């Protein structure tokens, strides 16, 4: 099964993607995580992406598309892939469609996780992550067992540089302008399943599974 999780920054895509990928045996591909790994490794792509990411702007479509297509190629050994954070523009969605067609692959479901802007700001400004394993927490809604450290490996949790109120506003604006049109795009193709992203994390996971026919 090949899935896309669509939604604004902070909708819970990363949190849900981990659960859904494990439940269905899918390769979880988060464009944001892949870009952060490129930055950490100081690759050419990582260096190009750095300034754009820190100010909440999108990385150019051609770079993202090439990066994600390479990773999707590795999904063959799994039950499929789960895309999180990609595609984010119509050009990326159209590029993905033609690459999948050439590889004789197809999308099964595009799940749109819906959360209002005011809730997004609260979620992102309280978000913490582990720089070692990438696991995401929230200081109030999903706290680690011991304040400030990762449950998995005891690493000190960090805040993302782009989770400040000003950059979050910028990212939301970018979302409404560039990414929201994908809801209609996938709706026209009969692939869209909308779920509410509000409520307990496990409740949202159950809604997504149901939307995928599980």
Q: Which residues of 152-175 are buried (b: 16+ CB within 10 A; e: fewer)?
A: eeeeebeebebbeeebbebbbebb
Of these, 121, 141, 151, 180, which contacts ligand ADP (CB under 6 A)?
Answer: 141
Chain positions 146 to 165 lying near ligand ADP, rule: CB under 6 A, are 162
Gap between the terminal Cα atoms of the chain: 11
Helix (H, G, I), strand (E, B) or coil at 67: helix
For residues 140 and 76, give the distance between their C-alpha atoms in angstroms, rounded to a whole number: 38
CB of 93 to ligand ADP, least distance (A): 10
DSSP class of residue 149 equals B
For residues 53 and 36, give the distance between their C-alpha atoms in angstroms, rounded to a whole number: 9
Residue nearest to ligand ADP (CB): 32
**Beta-carbon contacts of residue 190 (< 8 Å; ≥ 6 apart):** none
Of the CA atoms within 13 Å of residue 13, those in its CB half-sphere come to 28
Is 13 a residue of the active site? yes
The label of the residue with tokens 């599980």 reads 214
Active-site entry in 36, 123, 135, 171: 171
Q: Is 95 one of the binding residues for ligand ADP (CB under 6 A)?
A: no
CB of 150 to ligand ADP, least distance (A): 13
Q: Is 15 one of the binding residues for ligand ADP (CB under 6 A)?
A: yes
CB of 124 to ligand ADP, least distance (A): 6
CB of 203 to ligand ADP, least distance (A): 8
Q: Is 58 one of the binding residues for ligand ADP (CB under 6 A)?
A: yes
Of these, 31, 96, 172, 185, which contacts ligand ADP (CB under 6 A)?
Answer: 31
Residue ranges in contact with ligand ADP by CB under 6 A:
7, 9-15, 31-32, 35, 52-53, 56-59, 64, 85-86, 88, 92, 123, 126-127, 136-138, 141-142, 162, 171, 199, 201, 204
Residues with active-site annotation = 13, 88, 127, 160, 171
């Amino acid at each position: 099964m090949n899935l896309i999780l669509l939604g604004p920054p902070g909708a819970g895509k990363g949190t849900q993607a981990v659960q859904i990928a494990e439940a269905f045996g899918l390769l979880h591909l988060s464009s944001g995580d892949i870009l952060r790994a490129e930055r950490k490794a100081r690759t050419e792509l990582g260096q190009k992406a750095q300034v754009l990411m820190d100010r909440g702007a999108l990385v150019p479509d051609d770079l993202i598309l090439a990066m994600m297509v390479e990773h999707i190629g590795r999904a063959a050994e799994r039950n499929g892939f789960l895309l999180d954070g990609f595609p984010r523009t119509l050009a990326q969605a159209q590029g993905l469609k033609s690459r999948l067609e050439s590889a004789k692959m197809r999308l099964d479901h595009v799940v749109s996780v819906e959360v209002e802007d005011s809730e997004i700001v609260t979620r992102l400004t309280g978000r913490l992550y582990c720089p070692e394993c990438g696991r995401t927490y929230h200081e109030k809604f999903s706290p680690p067992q011991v304040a400030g450290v990762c449950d998995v490996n005891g690493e000190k949790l960090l805040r993302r540089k782009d989770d400040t109120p000003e950059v979050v506003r910028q990212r939301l604006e970018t979302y409404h302008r560039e990414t929201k049109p994908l809801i209609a795009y996938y709706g026209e193709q009969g692939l869209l399943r909308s779920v509410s992203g509000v409520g307990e994390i496990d409740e949202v996971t159950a809604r997504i599974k149901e939307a995928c026919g599980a």
